[in-house]
Structure 1
């Protein structure tokens, strides 16, 4: 995960995950347009291990985050479109460490299997990414919301799942054949809210929101302070 090299930025002519469009419309008589990306909806899961009273998160390298950090550290760096024979970005400026692109996230996945329900997709992601076998009946829907409303407008549905060490049937880590390289991370309940608000730790809004939801809805059940 920490060994990132041979970085190039090239134009994207086609993608299995993102398709750019421009919509023209009139609003209150004024002609406007907006650029957007069509992409898949997704599911995410807040996993709580009742054996060790900890949350199960995933940690992985995100190229988009990495490139944002690189551009931030090189504000004068021109936009590069690499073609055959061009130098890589690494040869043009000093790249940040790979850790700049690593984020903590909820277990999650794309809704790209029309024959499966959202719960079934969530179950698969929990097993593939985190190694826990959770019955669909044990998944509790928290809510759904729009993510990336300015660019994609996709919907993410968030679930909650309680697991124990007995449910752990593998190491997780994602699907290597899909290029996934995921590290499973345990966040103790007592440290969760400090973790959520620590700006030095790169994380998704889903982690913050789900920890807050747990504090409001589930912590009283366990009669445990979450150190808010």
Structure 2
């Protein structure tokens, strides 16, 4: 069984909407492209490394349309990768899938994602916030790479929506901060649900 890795860019208030550009998801949101001023060499290298070994992309409809209009016309390492690997698209409609290697997923998203996981070694989810929220709710992921940027927007779609379910995650490696203040966090899906405790219990008494 392969692995599903989610790559997410978020603000300190965990807004994940339209980090890449002003036209990415403009409806009711005026901060499109908020990530661009915060990219530096450290964050760029982290993003590059996250795609190593990718053999399939799992995308939502909006992200797919953006990618399909852009990457086939580029000539760099990312374009070579994205143009070569299979692209799986989660959409309730009938998108134009003219980008080579593209397939629309069936109506049962959870089953379709499980089939993709059985078929590939390293499936990467990019952008696609609605899809990401579904995968988080269904716990259909193995790793969550989260870049937290040092800004607060106060508006926009959040990474974790009102339908989020209690989930335990394990930090896979120490956090790394980039020169412009973005913190990279890599988590793996852990067993069980979040526990509770009592901070007034003796073992939590800081005076002892």
Which interval holds the TM-score relative to the shorter structure?
Answer: under 0.3
Higher alpha-carbon Rg: 1
Higher relative contact order, chain-length normalized (CA < 8 Å, sep 6+): 2
Relative to its length, the structure with more strand (as a share) is 1
Give the alignment's TM-score, normalised by structure 1.
Answer: 0.24
